[in-house]
């Protein structure tokens, strides 16, 4: 069965939407199989957002196309943008407690990224978690030289297995059967 890692970031915890986030996943039919609140170390965040060149460039590329769609040209390379943002992310994710969870279900990786919404909340579907609980944007974040505060992280297909191992041991992943709510 497919699994994904979700982190409710410090702003999500501070906005008291932990329950709302979990409910969205459970209402969509997915199963939470591991859950904890913790204060992450810089090392854990550094492992989570690994300095992988492909990922760094993809963060830069998404940022560039969002800025270009608003008529703003960026001088840095995609990799430079990604490296700058990774540095900011280490501060953001260690500023307060976070909630880590593993969610399981058919097609859960793509399903949860859909429920989470686009990276920049101003572009996210208003019914998505990021669209509902944040008005932040790449522009506001870049001006203040900080990461986009977008409530949660959800793995993509390439990273789920590796990220689950950063936060949970095999013993912390639980097995149980979901039963219909009306039974
Ligand atoms: P996602 O979290 O949607 O998978 P990315 O992997 O592209 O998005 O980026 C990781 C995180 O880095 C984002 O969730 C966001 O907090 C932050 N981030 C990405 N791009 C920018 C940017 N241009 N400016 C500020 N923060 C950014």
**pTM for the whole structure:** 0.96
- Which residue's CA lies nearest to atom 7 of ligand 1? 59
Q: Enumerate helices (H) and strands (E) in the chain, giving the number of each.
A: 9, 4
Is the pLDDT reported for residue 83 higher than 90?
A: yes
Q: Strand, helix or coil at 174?
A: coil
Is 89 near ligand 1, meaning CB less than 6 Å away? yes
Write down the residue that tokens 């760094």 correspond to: 56
CA of 127 to the centre of ligand 1 (A): 19
Is the pLDDT reported for residue 158 higher than 90?
A: no
Is 141 near ligand 1, meaning CB less than 6 Å away? yes
Is 115 near ligand 1, meaning CB less than 6 Å away? no
- Which residue's CA lies nearest to atom 16 of ligand 1? 148
pLDDT, one tens digit per residue, over 13-51 is 999 999 999 999 999 999 999 999 999 999 999 999 999
Closest C-alpha among 92, 107, 79, 148 to residue 4: 107
CA of 27 to the centre of ligand 1 (A): 26
Looking from the CA of 26 toward its CB, the CA atoms found within 13 Å total 13
**Helix or strand holding residue 138 (H, E):** helix 138-143
Across the chain, mean pLDDT equals 96
pLDDT, one tens digit per residue, over 112-143 is 999 999 999 999 999 999 999 999 999 999 99
Rg over alpha carbons for the chain, rounded to the nearest Å, is 16
- Helix ranges, 37-158 (H): 42-48, 53-69, 78-93, 108-116, 129-133, 138-143
Q: Are 149 and 138 in contact (CB under 8 A)?
A: no
Write down the residue that tokens 């460039």 correspond to: 57
Domains, the chain, with CATH or none? 1-39+97-175 (3.30.70.141), 42-95 (no CATH)
pLDDT at 171: 98
């Amino acid at each position: 069965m497919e699994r994904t890692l979700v982190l409710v970031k410090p702003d999500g915890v501070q906005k008291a939407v932990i329950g709302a986030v979990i409910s969205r996943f459970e209402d969509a039919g997915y199963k939470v199989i591991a859950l904890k609140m913790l204060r992450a170390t810089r090392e854990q965040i550094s492992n989570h957002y690994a300095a992988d060149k492909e990922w760094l460039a993809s963060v830069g590329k998404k940022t560039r196309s969002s800025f270009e769609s608003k008529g703003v040209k960026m001088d840095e390379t995609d990799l430079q943008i990604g490296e700058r943002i990774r540095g900011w992310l280490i501060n953001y994710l260690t500023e307060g407690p976070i909630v880590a969870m593993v969610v399981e279900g058919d097609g859960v990786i793509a399903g949860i990224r859909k429920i989470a919404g686009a990276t920049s909340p101003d572009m996210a579907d208003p019914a998505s978690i990021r669209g509902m609980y944040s008005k932040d944007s790449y522009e506001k974040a870049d001006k203040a030289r900080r990461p986009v505060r977008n409530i949660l992280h959800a793995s993509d297909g390439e990273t789920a297995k590796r990220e689950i191992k950063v936060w949970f041991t095999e013993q912390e992943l639980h097995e149980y059967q979901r039963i219909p709510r009306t039974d």
